């Protein structure tokens, strides 16, 4: 999916005696959005922007080690070792030693002679790396100016972390002209370095520079930026955004609780799973966070769970919490929003007038064994298009509002409005502000995103969503043993009943499955789970269990223990030989007979 931006110049931080000016260059292709203000305290802003940068560059996917050099060395060394093993051949060994002794100074000499070259090459590569650092960013951050706050949003490279820095206007003491709206801003790695120089003793102004729009008409050359973003990235972004609108479990934590979790993670390195955090929540009791696999309990004595239902929620991808470390000294409180086990989670850190929201997807790696969050993008309630447009138009007028207020304004029911707004969030045109509990208008891209096309990663996910919506799913059995969870159930859809079962490992990854459908019989799990398995998993996660009275159809052919036909030994089938092949053979024989003699 290609995003196109046009910038007049580059964002920069300029410094002078006693003042710093942050000037962000907006995208000229989008409706004019601008802002001017001076920060009352630059330090929280600096730390929050740094955390936002950490989100942008975050990539915690497993990177296999480059072993090519080692393998090359080993191939070379193998010969030497082999001879070394056969030491009984003393002569050879001595010769090798002599040659090695001769070779060592030569190699050392070569290394010395080539050192400047290698150093220069390394410097050059470093230069290229630094120079093209912008290429590492997927999509420039989005900046939105609203009547009550300005906020920055970004999404990580590994398609798993969402960051949002909101600065209410209390954080500014001099507010200049502004125009509400959303735009992308030019962002570079150099900018991060400049942010680090912000100080409280310098007056810091923040501009989303509107001058670019006037310059644009003067016909000056602009910088065109085209970014090709994978669909999975956009899907991840929208899924995490959509998740914010769902009903969640809220936990208020002390900043030092997060500090303690990070401390445990920094001090320990897990070699095996599960790699999850278990939030043990008991109403009226302090929250306990269990860090697996060591089962270290982090007690949060000053964080009392205010919910009314005891529960335990597991989340994965916990090392992404290190992004919050820089915020901890300045944090006043951390509010955690948990959707459920294996579901996205959100951490809203309050920094005075600033607030930082870190959204984490269910797992760091969005592969099929762990994902299947298509239901996050499911429509909550069918809403007609006219109503949806009305709701959106009204939201555009007020920029932010709660569902109840909008329902009151429009004379519609609140669930209808909430469902409409959920649809707009899924389309990337609005967000839900967890901190304030309001919907905000925010156009992620200049052109509306094809939300319907982005919802599913595969046709099977689409079919699974249809099963959940139109069919029935019965959960017959959920058993947990040795960290593994086995779920068995039946799926009734289009008049047929299938029996399916799946096994999730300690990290809630799908490791085994079984189903009576054709797709599974043909492919097993090689091409990902079938639609019935996906539906079963989603139903279990969402607590759906319908009543199905009929029993499943017998399996047509058991893939593992299918009865084999008795095969009698037969002669090999006679091969059809064409006339020309026959002629060739005859010729060959004739030639052999003639010349062989």
Partner 1 sequence: MRIVDQARLGFREGTSDKVYELDIVEVADGQYVVNFRFGRRRGSLRDGTKTPLPVSLERARAVYTALVAEKTNAGYKPLSAEDVAAASPSVIEPRPSAARRERELIEELGRGHRSEQPLHLLVRKVGERGLHEAEPFLLELLAGSHEARVKPEVLRHFIVAALARCGSSRAVPALEAIFEDGKQPRHLRDIGLLALTVIGGAESRQKARARVLARLRPTPGGELGAYVRAAEELLEKDPEQARAAIFELYVSAPSCLDAADTEEDRLARGIVLGLARIARSVSVEHGPLARANWAKLKVEFGLLRSLNWAAEIRRDAELFAVLTRRFETERRGTRDTKNYFRRRAARTLRRLGSIESPDYVEFASALALSYADSDAEPVRDGFANWDAFARYHALNFILYGNSPRYERAGHRRATWRCSHGYVPSAPPPPNREESFPALWDQAPEALWRLGVSDAANPVIHFATRALREQTEFLSRVEDVKLAQALSHARRLMRLVAFEAARVRAPNLLLARAALLSGLDEADSWVLHWVESSPTILTEHVELLALMITSPSERVRAAGGGFASGLSLSEDLARELVSSTIALLMSLPNETSADERVQSAASLLLRHAAAALDALGIEVVKDLLAHAVSGVAVLGAEILLRRARTGTLGDHLLDALLESSHASVRSIGARVVADTPPALMKDEPELLVHLALSSNVELRGGTRGLLGEVARLYPGVGARVASELVDSLLTRQAEGVPAHVVSLLRHELKGCLPKRDAVNVLSLVGALSPHAREAGGLLLGAMSPDEFELEQIVRLAGHEILLVRQGAWALALAAKDRFRVAPIALARLCDARWDDSRAFAFEFVRSFAREDVVPDTVIAICDSIEPQVQRFGQTLLLEYWREQDAPRYLVRLSEHPSANIQLLVSGLLDRHARGNLVLLEQLLPCFRSILSRVNQGAVAKERVLAFVRSEATASAEAAALVAPLLERQSLTRAISHKGSLIAAMVAINEQYPEVPVPISSAPVSLHSRSRRGI
Under rule CB under 8 A, residue 189 binds partner 1: no
Q: Select the span of 196-204, 218-226, 431-439, 528-536 touching partner 1 (CB under 8 A).
A: 196-204
Under rule CB under 8 A, residue 262 binds partner 1: yes
Q: Select the span of 9-17, 31-39, 478-486, 546-554 touching partner 1 (CB under 8 A).
A: 9-17
Options 79, 99, 110, 263; binder of partner 1; rule CB under 8 A: 263
Closer Cβ to partner 1, 193 or 283, answer by number: 193
* Residue in the structure block whose two tokens are 């139903």: 539
Residues 6+ apart with CB under 8 A from 209: 23, 24, 25, 26, 34
**C-beta separation of 530 from 514 below 8 A:** no
Q: Select the span of 138-146, 212-220, 250-258, 451-459 touching partner 1 (CB under 8 A).
A: 250-258
Options 84, 147, 301, 437; binder of partner 1; rule CB under 8 A: 301
The kind and range of the H/E element at 42 are: helix 42-57
Closer Cβ to partner 1, 4 or 194, answer by number: 194
Closer Cβ to partner 1, 327 or 536, answer by number: 327
Give CA–CA dist 335/338, Å, rounded. 10
Closest by CA to 154, choosing from 184, 133, 131, is 184
Query: Measured from the CB of residue 11, what is the shortest distance to partner 1 in angstroms?
Result: 16
Options 4, 21, 31, 50; binder of partner 1; rule CB under 8 A: 50
Under rule CB under 8 A, residue 333 binds partner 1: no
Closest by CA to 517, choosing from 557, 560, 473, is 557
Query: Measured from the CB of residue 347, what is the shortest distance to partner 1 in angstroms?
Result: 15
Burial class (CB in 10 A: 0-12, 13-18, 19+), 64: exposed
Closer Cβ to partner 1, 191 or 339, answer by number: 191
Local structure of residue 317 (DSSP, 8 states)? -
Residues 6+ apart with CB under 8 A from 224: 4, 5, 6
Give CA–CA dist 279/258, Å, rounded. 12
Options 147, 193, 307, 483; binder of partner 1; rule CB under 8 A: 193
**C-beta separation of 9 from 24 below 8 A:** no
Query: Measured from the CB of residue 337, what is the shortest distance to partner 1 in angstroms?
Result: 22
The kind and range of the H/E element at 474 are: strand 472-481
Local structure of residue 375 (DSSP, 8 states)? G
The kind and range of the H/E element at 438 are: strand 438-441
Give CA–CA dist 418/432, Å, rounded. 11
Return phi, psi of residue 409, to 5°: -60, -40
Closer Cβ to partner 1, 255 or 359, answer by number: 255
Give CA–CA dist 572/337, Å, rounded. 68
Under rule CB under 8 A, residue 200 binds partner 1: yes
Closer Cβ to partner 1, 62 or 594, answer by number: 594
Q: Select the span of 149-157, 214-222, 254-262, 342-350 touching partner 1 (CB under 8 A).
A: 254-262
Under rule CB under 8 A, residue 591 binds partner 1: yes
Query: Any idea of the CA torsion for 294, 274, 289, 318, to the nearest 10 degrees?
Result: 110
Options 84, 329, 437, 483; binder of partner 1; rule CB under 8 A: 329
Under rule CB under 8 A, residue 57 binds partner 1: no
Query: Measured from the CB of residue 586, what is the shortest distance to partner 1 in angstroms?
Result: 15
Between strands 438-441 and 472-481, the pairing is unpaired
Query: Measured from the CB of residue 593, what is the shortest distance to partner 1 in angstroms?
Result: 12
Give CA–CA dist 32/28, Å, rounded. 7
Options 21, 227, 256, 288; binder of partner 1; rule CB under 8 A: 256
Closer Cβ to partner 1, 211 or 523, answer by number: 211
Q: Select the span of 295-303, 349-357, 396-404, 463-471 touching partner 1 (CB under 8 A).
A: 295-303
Note the residues at the interface with partner 1 (CB under 8 A): 14-17, 43, 46-47, 50, 130, 193, 196-197, 199-201, 254-257, 259-260, 262-264, 266-267, 298, 301-302, 322, 325-326, 328-330, 591, 595
């Amino acid at each position: 999916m290609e995003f196109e931006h046009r910038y007049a110049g580059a964002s920069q931080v300029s410094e002078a005696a006693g003042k710093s000016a942050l000037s962000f260059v907006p995208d000229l292709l989008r409706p004019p959005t601008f802002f001017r203000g001076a920060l009352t305290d630059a330090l929280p802003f600096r730390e929050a922007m740094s955390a936002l940068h950490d989100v942008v560059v975050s990539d915690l996917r497993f990177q296999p080690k480059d072993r090519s050099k080692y393998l090359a060395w080993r191939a070379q060394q193998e010969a030497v070792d082999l001879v070394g093993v056969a030491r009984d051949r003393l002569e050879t060994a001595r010769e090798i030693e002599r040659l090695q002794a001769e070779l060592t100074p030569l190699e050392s000499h070569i290394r010395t002679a080539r050192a400047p070259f290698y150093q220069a090459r390394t410097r050059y590569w470093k230069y290229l790396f630094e120079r093209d650092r912008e290429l590492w960013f997927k999509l420039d951050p989005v900046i939105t100016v609203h009547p009550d706050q300005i906020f920055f949003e970004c999404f990580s490279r590994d398609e798993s972390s969402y960051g949002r820095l909101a600065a209410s206007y209390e954080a500014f003491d001099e507010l200049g002209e502004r125009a509400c709206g959303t735009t992308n801003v030019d962002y570079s790695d150099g900018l991060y370095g400049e942010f680090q120089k912000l100080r409280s003793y310098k007056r810091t102004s923040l501009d989303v520079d509107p001058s670019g729009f006037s310059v644009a008409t003067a016909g000056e050359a602009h910088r065109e930026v085209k970014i090709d973003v994978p669909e999975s990235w956009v899907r991840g972004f929208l899924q995490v955004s959509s998740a914010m609108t769902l009903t969640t479990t809220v936990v208020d934590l002390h900043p030092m609780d997060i500090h303690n979790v990070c401390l445990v993670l920094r001090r320990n390195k897990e070699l095996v799973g599960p790699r999850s955090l278990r939030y043990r929540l008991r109403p009226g009791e302090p929250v306990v966070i269990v860090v697996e696999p060591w089962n270290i309990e982090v007690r949060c004595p000053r964080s009392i769970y205010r919910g009314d239902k005891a529960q335990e929620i597991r989340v994965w991808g916990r090392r992404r919490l290190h992004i919050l470390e820089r915020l901890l000294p300045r944090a006043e409180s951390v509010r955690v929003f948990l959707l459920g086990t294996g579901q996205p989670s959100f951490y809203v850190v309050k920094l005075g007038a600033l607030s930082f929201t870190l959204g984490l997807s269910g797992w760091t790696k969005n592969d099929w064994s762990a994902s299947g969050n298509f239901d996050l993008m499911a429509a909550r309630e069918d809403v007609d298009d006219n109503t949806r447009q009305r709701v959106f138009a009204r939201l555009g007028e007020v920029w932010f509002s709660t569902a109840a207020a909008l329902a009151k304004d429009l004379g519609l029911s609140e669930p209808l409005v909430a469902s409409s707004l959920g649809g707009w969030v899924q389309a990337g045109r609005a967000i839900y502000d967890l901190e304030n509990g309001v919907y905000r208008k925010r156009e992620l891209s200049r052109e509306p995103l094809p939300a319907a096309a982005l919802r599913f990663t595969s046709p099977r996910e689409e079919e699974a969503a249809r099963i959940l919506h139109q069919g029935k799913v019965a959960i017959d059995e959920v058993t947990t043993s040795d960290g593994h969870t086995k779920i068995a159930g039946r799926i009734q859809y289009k008049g047929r009943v299938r029996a399916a079962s799946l096994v999730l490992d300690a990290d809630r990854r799908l490791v085994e499955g079984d189903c009576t459908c054709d797709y599974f019989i043909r492919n097993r799990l090689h091409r990902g789970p079938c639609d019935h398995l996906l539906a079963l998993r989603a139903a279990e996660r969402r607590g759906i269990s319908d009543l199905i009275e009929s029993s499943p159809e017998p399996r047509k052919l058991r893939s593992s223990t299918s009865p084999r036909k008795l095969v009698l030994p037969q002669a090999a089938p006679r091969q059809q030989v064409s006339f020309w092949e026959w002629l060739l053979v005859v010729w060959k024989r004739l030639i052999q007979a003639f010349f062989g003699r």
